[in-house]
Amino acid sequence: MLHDYHVHLESGPYTAQWIRQYYDTAMERGLSELGFSEHAYRFSQASSLLETSWADAAFHYDVHEYVHAVEQARQQGMAVKTGIEMDYIPSREAGIRAFLESVHWDYIIGSVHWIGDWGFDLPRFAHEWKERDVVDVYYSYYEILQMAIRSQLFDIIGHFDLIKVFGYRPPRNVIMTAVYESTIRLMKDYDMVLEINTAGLYKPAGQIYPAPEILQMAGKYRLPVIITSDAHCPEHVGRDFPLAQRMAREADITTLVRFEKRKRQYVPLLA
């Protein structure tokens, strides 16, 4: 009963044939359903919602072409869902809301990839880490993440501790536990879904998002959870799900969430 809801089609065209390649891998790996979550900034309708002209200059896809391709795949019998990974930018809430309301999504992942105009997880901006105070960066990230939770724009928070992506971590004497816990508690207050995202294993951080310490908190507060790969190509769909399942069980998590038209259904997390 596993499903993967964080998948990017971006290395190919928005066609049912391209979707089929992802879907075949999902079926081979025993998944029951596959959801796509293109980056909103790729679409001309949303590219101006960042605080930089970076996406505006690079991407001009039509969101309706994407939605149509997923719809066609569904008509061909594939169990696929229409999702989106939306950048949360504090000053752009009204524009984000208008964009999100323009499409009938099955679910919306809200992610923080930007601190001001710094795309901290993008390799092209990675050099900036050396010029910044790591503790300040972490505090800024969680401040923005908490704003994203309070905005009530999203169903799911993407890669909770993405800020560790390049392996920069606060020194040992700076304990982040209180920040993690207050953010997890806020997710509970706002009834948000946490994802266990395996892509972190393949980044310099070398660790699933979120860290076990944070997942334990999610278990304690009974947060609803999904397991995702953040695949950017067909072969990465469902990657390392057995490891993510094990981590979830160790954190006392027993149910997963499915979505349809932003309505939830809870399914047991089996072995």
Shorter beta-carbon distance to Zn ion: residue 85 or 106: 85
Q: Tell the smallest beta-carbon distance from residue 37 to Zn ion (Å).
A: 6
What's the rounded Cα separation, in Å, for the pair 118 and 1?
38
Query: Does residue 38 belong to the site contacting Zn ion (CB under 5 A)?
Result: no
Tell me the residue ranges of DSSP E strands in the chain.
Answer: 3-4, 33-39, 80-87, 107-111, 114-115, 118-119, 156-157, 193-197, 225-228, 255-260, 263-268
Q: Tell the smallest beta-carbon distance from residue 248 to Zn ion (Å).
A: 19
Query: Does residue 245 belong to the site contacting Zn ion (CB under 5 A)?
Result: no
Site for Zn ion in 155-214 (CB under 5 A): 158
Shorter beta-carbon distance to Zn ion: residue 140 or 219: 140
Residue 67-96 contact track with Zn ion, rule CB under 5 A, x = bound: ------------------x-----------
Nearest CA to 148 out of 226, 89, 223, 209 is that of 89
> Are 76 and 98 a contacting pair, CB within 8 Å?
no
Nearest CA to 44 out of 72, 71, 65 is that of 65
- Per the DSSP assignment, residues forming a β-bridge with 110 are 86, 157
Site stretch for Zn ion (CB under 5 A), options 55-63, 108-116, 168-176, 177-185: 108-116
Nearest CA to 163 out of 130, 128, 114, 212 is that of 114
Residues binding Zn ion: number (CB under 5 A): 4
Name the DSSP class of 88: P
Shorter beta-carbon distance to Zn ion: residue 49 or 219: 49
Q: Tell the smallest beta-carbon distance from residue 127 to Zn ion (Å).
A: 20
Report the residue from 25, 111, 198, 245 that binds Zn ion according to the rule CB under 5 A.
Answer: 111
Nearest CA to 237 out of 22, 36, 73 is that of 22
Query: Does residue 230 belong to the site contacting Zn ion (CB under 5 A)?
Result: yes
Shorter beta-carbon distance to Zn ion: residue 6 or 219: 6
Shorter beta-carbon distance to Zn ion: residue 35 or 158: 158
Site stretch for Zn ion (CB under 5 A), options 44-52, 151-159, 176-184, 186-194: 151-159
> Are 221 and 185 a contacting pair, CB within 8 Å?
yes
Query: Does residue 45 belong to the site contacting Zn ion (CB under 5 A)?
Result: no
Residues at the site binding Zn ion, with contacts judged by CB under 5 A: 85, 111, 158, 230
